Every structure is written in structure tokens, then in C-alpha cells.
Structure 1
Amino acid sequence: MTDRRQPGEARESVGFGTLLRGNADVRRLWGGTVVSLFGDWFNTLALYRLVLDLTGSEAALGGVFLTKMLPLALASPIAGVLADRLDRRRLMIGADLVRAVIVLGFLFVRDADDLWLLYTLGAAQIAVSAAFTPAKNAVLPLITKPGELLTANALLAATWSSMLAIGAAAGGPAVDAFGTDVVFLLDAATYLVSAVFIFRVRVPATDLEDDDEPRQSVLRVAGSKVVEGWRYVLARPAVRRISLAKATWGLGGGGLVFVLALLGNNLFPSAGTTGIGILFAARGLGTGIGPILARSLFTDERRWPLVLGGCVIASGLGYLSVAAVVDYRWAVAACVVFAHAASGANWVLSTTLLQERSRDAFRGRVISTDWLLITLVESFSIFVASLLLEAGVDLVTVVIGFALVEVASGLVWIATVVPAEARWRASPETEPGR
């Protein structure tokens, strides 16, 4: 199990190679993540292409983004309860198997009248994923040794990003060359491979909730357990503050990620899905670089709250630069890399703090609360962006507007959270502990 340190205590982390060579369980969890994410990004580009081809509507494309967000928000509270009450390894395997079946349903989407099916299947896929994510993040501190947790988080964050970059770069041409059906079949297969990897992960016994209620009552008591988890977060300001870090980025970031698909379509009009893939690959490259740099540069945890706000500001400035160079394709891609390097650093540092500040019995619900907040905020941001574009607002104007929201959000974070964190570190006994 990972180490527990006092606020401000120096942090030492092992290298990526040492982690993968020395920790077989992290290696297996990482292997499953690699293959499933690769298929997911192929799948995502296929859905974007399918909707644009069937409808040509920005609002319809926004609907795809929302099906990737809202179901996650709605399912996350229950998913957190499941992650805190059930065998997390089995929960992840079950989620992989169910998702493999769900994505095969996309094969039946053939025309605009089938759009309801696409949205329904997309929502179901993400809702099941909501159970996988808190289980994975709650397991990670249990299978890491002292000095490994930050590296493991950085590795998984960089993997998400690398698979976004590779999947987007390869997925665009694959969709154009082979069609969406082949991509959906590939995605289903990757879930099966992921399940095999996770089956081999050994998770030690933990202090998961084990009350006197029978296992079959999980759903019946879920509501009270969700509320209990929220109370845990609300009663601990040190946890509550960090649970807002990703959502602070999402206020502007959700709309900005949405417009990436349209920017790619407009900047590379003759490239088909490949144009969208180029900018999403740039996003993946950035979010891969960010966690690695954060792990190397910000070893003093006392600076992390300031870094989190600074990353939000930097991400907004990156997208303001996109608006300034929008006529230059590769300059846009470079700005996207910079913007998402900042968001990736925010992600991995805030995730590590949440994992370390939460009791294991509540960690799944803490992580799911974090996901609930970011997905609700991003969904709202995407919805507003899609309405503005559908109403005829210029794409560059939308980019500028949401980038300014991003900068303002980061400034508010620094003005409010950083002083509160400094007071807590000076007198940690004034706030409830784990």
C-alpha cells in the first residue's frame, strides 16, 4: 500500500521503468488500460465521423460529446458506491465485458433515423465506464509501494494521453480507409483483452465497507451511501478543495475540447476524419507531456495548489493562442499541445492528492465525486458551446470566449484555494483528517 506523509513532507518517486519492472500488478493494470484506450479513441473518431456524415449538424455532434459526459456524471455516484462495496477487480472485469457487447450495437446505426440508437449506446458505454474508473483509481494506492503512487498516476495519465495521440492519429485514417464498422469491432475486441489483463491483477484485502446488509442490497442502499460519500467530502475541506481542481478547468475546457473536432474538420477539409484526428492527437501529446513534466518539476507538494491554478490559466492562454494563429494549421496543433500539457498536469497532481487524502473505504466515492463535478461542468460547457455555434456564432469567437473563461477560472482558484491550503498546512489539525 502507498505511503502516508505529513503535509509538506518531501516526496520521492521511483522511475517509470523501475515501477513497471518491479510491480507486476501495476504493469498488468497498465497493459489493460493501453489496449482498451486504443480502441476507445478509434471508436470516438468513428462516432464523430458518423454523426457529421449523417447530419452535418454542430448540435448533433455536441450530442455525441454530451453522451460522453452526462451519463458519466449521472452514474458516477452509484459507481463510487459499487467501488467501495464490491470486489473492485471483478467490477472492472465485468465493466469490460459489458462494454464489449455494447459497442457492437453501433454496427446497427445506418442513417439519421438511427441517431437515437447511437446516443443510447454511447450513453450506456460511458455509464458502464463510470464503474470502471473509480474502481481502477481506488485500487491503485493498494497495489503501489512507497514512492510509486505519483509515478503510477503519471504513467496512467500519460498512457491515456498517448493512446489519445496514437489512436487519434491512426484512427482518423483507419476510419477513412476501412469504415466505421471495422473500428467498432476493434473496440469490442480491446475490451476483452483488457479484461484478461485485469484478471491477473492481485488486489490485497482492504477496509471496504462490510456492514451486515447482504450483497444483493447494494442498489437498495446506494442512495444513502452516495449521500454518506458526499458528506465525507464536504466535511473535509482539504479533500473538497482538490475535488474542484478538474472542474475549474472544465468550465472553459469542455467547450474548447468540443470545438477541436470542428476546428479539425475546418482546418483540414480535404482530410476527412484525419483532420479531426490530427488535433485530437495534438491534445493527446500535450496531456501526455504534462503529467511527465509535472512529476519531474513539481516535487514539492506544498506548491501543488498554486500549480493547479496556474495550469488552468496556462491552458486558457494556449487556446487564446489558437485563436491568434487559426489560419496556420500546424501552429494551431502546437498551441493545442501546450494547452493540454497544462491540463494534463492539473489532472495528475489533483488525482494524486485526492487518492492520498481519502480513506480507502471512501476513496471510490471521492473519485466518483471528482468525476461527477468535472463531467457536469464539462457537459454544461459543451452544451453552451454547441448552442452558440448552432446560432451562428463564429468558431474563433467561441474559442476566445471559452479561453477567457479558462483564464478567469484559474485566477479565481489561485485567489481562493491557495490561501486556504496555506492555512491548512500551517495548522492541519484545524480541519478533519482522513
Structure 2
Amino acid sequence: MATPFSVLTANRDFRRLFAAELVVFGSDWFVMVPLLVLLPELTGSGVWGALVLAADTGITAVLLPYAGTVADRLDRRTILIAANVAALVATLLLFVVRSAATAPLAVVAIGAVAVAKAFYSPAASAALPNVVDPADLAAANAVAGSAWGTMTIVGASLGGIVSSAAGPYVSFAVAAASLFTAAVLTFTIRRPLQAPRDPSAPPPRTWHALVEALRYIGARPRIRALVTVKSAVGLGNGVLTVFPLLAGLYGVGALGAGLLFAVRGAGALVGPLVMRPVLNHRSWLLPGLALSMSLYGLGYLGVALAPWFPLVLALVFVAHFAGGTNWVLSNYALQGEVPDRLRGRVFATDMMLATLAISASQLGAALFVDHVDERVILASCGLITLVYAIGWRIATRNQSLDDATPSSLADVTPGGEPSGDSPRGAESPTV
């Protein structure tokens, strides 16, 4: 049985795809952390920082459906490299942001980076099953699922340290160099990142492709369940808005706020690795998803009631241990259910719903944060996730994935030959 370590060390192409994703996530923190400190210093206002965050989340959510269509129509390697280069150019624009008059350029730059991320994310998710053998897919997902948590700890910490020691513009330079490195790593991947397409069949028009994907999701209860599961944690994500206020409530200041974000990342990192055995039992996936959503909600209900800051840190870790597990379980289940030709669009829909849920939660928390106690917001977010988890499990109680056919087999014709939708194609390139 493959382990995260074995698939990472033995598979050159997966290792490079994973490394590229790490670099991309890290560059995001090297841009955002120093920029959110720089803008208030230049303008004396927190508005521009809020606009930057809104542009980063909102633009990505709006573009994801179209970006998923592109991931299914064009070469995914080209999409990933182009997205890295576009984000690099946009990051260079931040060097012009040096006064209150040029602050709007930060929103433009981050908006452009968000466009690039919208195209990068579904293409990378859809490409993963094509660079590993089917038997290694569970272990590969455990590794890939740790990327965000790893860079939340490492990227956010280093971004803040470099910005404090050398200034924000050095951080921007590091981000640009990182994006160039990611493009080079992706270029050196040998395996094709999508299954062969029928050259005689013209690619579907964008609107038709979107409608096809939505009909595919709507006609399959299991897919509908899987593309809505991340929204539970997303709707509870407003807790992040009160992290700095929570640290102040316990009298631990900026250090405490940093610890809260670091523990959040640590939980998201450890969860997918510890819970990897669940991926080997398809019948456990839906109950595991319901349990992970519930544990996230219960974790933040506990945070709202905790009397000591160390207990708060422990509960935040537990909540995001569950949140990271939720993300990986749902990604793995979708990869096993959806054929390659639709995978980019389905993953884009999945990420769009999660992103919109996060935006709605953070906006709701922002509306009430100056008017109610921080603990009320924490408890409300936790309760929303918990209620969602219970409702989701009731709605899916008669479903199971243990009789599902993995996409690597679902795309094989009755005669035994791989169809044009097979994630691996007619041949398996040697590593």
C-alpha cells in the first residue's frame, strides 16, 4: 500500500506538481501579509486592505466556473504555467504601490492575481489523478491536502518575518521569484495532465460546457452531496475575522493572534495526513465527511466557551484538523467519481461554492463584529457548521460510495479499452 512518503519520493512528476503548489501557496502569503500591513501605513485607513481581501476572494469565486471549463478544454500544463506567469507580472505591479495615491493599484494587482488563481486551482486539482497511478491516489491526496496547511504556517510566518526585517518590497520580490520557480517546475512534468481527447470532436462552447457540467452534477445525488460538503466549513469561516479580537480578549496581543493562525494551519496540515487511512475505505467517506464538518462546528462552539487561551489554541487545532480532513476527503471522493473530461468543471463548481460560503461568512461576521461579543460570533459560526453537517448527513443517509466505480474504471468502455475520458489514457507513461 502506498504511503504519502513513498508516493512523494518515488513519483517525480507528482513531486514536482506538489512542489509547484507549495510555492504558489507560499507566494500568496508573501504578498498578502506584507500588503495588509503596508496599505494602512500608506493610507491611514483599513478600507484598502478590506478591498484587497474582497478582490482576492470575490474575483476567484466569480471566475471559477469559466476557469473549470477552460481546464477541461485546453492543455492543463499550459494553463498552470500561464497562471503562474500572469500572477508574477501582477505581483510586480505592487512595487509601484508606495503612497496613498497609488494604493488602488494594489487592488488591481491582487485582482489580477485572483484571476490567475481562479484558473490555476481547478486545473491543478483536475490534473492530480493523471500524474499518479490509481493505487497511489489516496496517498497523493493526503500529501496534496497538506500543502495549504503547510504554507499557512511556513508562508505566513516567513512572509511576516521577511517583511518586518527587509520591508514589504523584498517580500514581493520573493513572491515573484517563487512564481517563476513554480512555472519551471510545472514545465518539467513529463506525464500529460489530462486524458487524450478525440481530435475529431470540436471542444464544446463555453456555455454548453458549463450547462453540461451542471446537468452532470444535478443528475447525480452523490456528486451533488460532494460538491456541497465544503460549504459547511466555509460558512463557519467567519471565525477568522475575530482572531485578532479574540487574542486581545485573552490579553495575548499580536503574538496570540499569530499563534491562532499558526495553530489553524497546523491543524489543516496534520488532519489529512493522520486521517489518510479513511481514503482506503470508500464506504467511510460520507460518514467521515459528516463527522469532520460536525467536529469543526463543535470545536468553535468550544472556543466560544473556553476560559483559558491554551484551551482555545487546542480547540482551534481540532477544528482545523477536521476542516483539513474535510477538504481532502471530498477532493478524493470527487476524483473517484468524476470522469477526466468533466473533472475541471466539477472541481471549479466545488471550489466556487466553498469560496462563496467563505465570503458570505466573513461578510456576515464583519457586519456584526463591532456590535456583538466576539464569543457570540464564534458560537454562531460553529453552530451554523454543526447544523449544516446534521442536515447534510440526513440528506445523504441512504447514499454510499462503496459501490461507486472509480473514474479510472468508469471511463473504460465495455470492451475493456480506455475511452477518451480515462484519466490515464491508453498508456501509462513510466516514471
* TM-score grouping bracket, smaller chain normalisation: 0.7 to 0.9
Write the distance in 1 (CA, Å) between the matches of 2:297 and 2:354: 17
Matched residue, 1:402: 381
Alignment partner, residue 55 of structure 2: 67
Q: Given the two structures, how large is their TM-score scaled by the length of structure 2?
A: 0.86
Contact between 1:99 and 1:128, CA under 8 Å: does it hold in 2?
Answer: yes
Specify whether residues 396 and 109 from structure 1 end up closer, same or farther in structure 2 by C-alpha distance, changes over 3 A only: farther
1:392 aligns with 2:371: yes
Mapped contact 1:85–1:209 kept (Cα < 8 A)? no
Q: 1:392 to 1:130 in 2, by over 3 A?
A: same
Aligned to 2:142: 154
1:313 matched to which residue of 2? 294
The answer as to whether partners of 1:59 and 1:387 remain within 8 angstroms in 2 is no
Partner of 1:375: 355
Instruction: Give the aligned partner of residue 132 of structure 2.
Output: 144
Cα deviations by residue, 1:150-206 (Å, 9 ceiling, x for unpaired): 111110111221111112233333322222211111111100001111111123361
Residue 393 of structure 2 corresponds to 414
For 1:384-423, what per-residue CA distance to the aligned partner results, in whole angstroms no more than 9, with x for missing partners? 111112x433322211211111111111112112x1314x
8 Å CA contact 2:300, 2:382 repeated in 1 = yes
Contact 2:138 2:280 in 1 (8 A): no
- Contact map agreement 1:45 1:277 (CA 8 A) in 2: no
**Does residue 1:81 correspond to 2:64, yes or no?**
no
Give deviations 1:7-26, integer Å, cap 9, x for gaps: xxxxxx51122112221110
Alpha-carbon offset, residue 245 of structure 1: 0.8
Q: Cα 1:358–1:265, aligned 2, differ >3 Å: closer, same or farther? A: farther
CA–CA distance in 2 between the matches of 1:366 and 1:319?
A: 30
Alpha-carbon spacing, 1:331–1:323, altered in 2? closer, same or farther (3 Å): same
Give the distance between the partners of 1:73 and 1:310, measured in 2 at CA.
Answer: 26
Identity, in percent, stands at 33
Instruction: Report the Cα offset of residue 270 of structure 1.
Output: 5.6
Instruction: State whether residues 62 and 383 of structure 1, in contact with CA within 8 Å, keep that contact through their aligned partners in structure 2.
Output: no
- Confirm or deny that 1:354 pairs with 2:337: no
Inter-CA distance 236–295: structure 2 relative to 1 (3 Å threshold): same
Between 1:361-370 and 1:61-70, the stretch displaced more is 61-70
Residue 278 (structure 1) aligned to one of 246, 259, 268: 259
Cα pair distance change 1:93/1:257, threshold 3 Å: same
Query: Quick one: which of 33, 36, 43 aligns to 2:24?
Result: 36
2:226 aligned with 1:250, yes or no? no
> Hey, what's the Cα distance between the residues in 2 that align with 1:124 and 1:256?
27
- Structure 1 gaps, min length 5: 1-12
What SS does the corresponding residue of 1:364 show, helix, strand or coil?
helix
Q: C-alpha distance in 2, partners of 1:275/1:33?
A: 28
For residues 4-403 of structure 1, the aligned pairs below 5 Å read: 13-53=1-41, 61-204=49-192, 206-208=195-197, 210=199, 213=202, 221-253=205-237, 255-260=238-243, 262-263=245-246, 271=254, 276-297=257-278, 299-325=280-306, 328=309, 330-389=310-369, 391-403=370-382
Between 365-374 and 289-298, report the one with greater CA deviation.
Answer: 289-298
Offset of 1:39 from its aligned partner?
2.2
Q: 1:331 to 1:223 in 2, by over 3 A?
A: same
Q: AA paired with 1:155?
A: V
Structure 2 spans left out of the alignment, 5+ residues: 412-431
- Residues paired across the two proteins, number: 406
Residues 138, 279 of structure 2: 8 Å contact kept: no
Distance 1:126 1:174 in 2: 23
Bigger RCO (CA 8 Å, 6+ sep): 1
Q: Separation in 1 of the partners of 2:61 and 2:303?
A: 29
How far the C-alpha of 1:248 sits from its partner, in A, is 2.2
Give the C-alpha shift of residue 37 in structure 1.
2.0
Pick closer, same or farther for the CA change 1:297–1:84 going to 2, 3 Å: closer
1:227–1:296 distance in 2 versus 1, CA, 3 Å: same
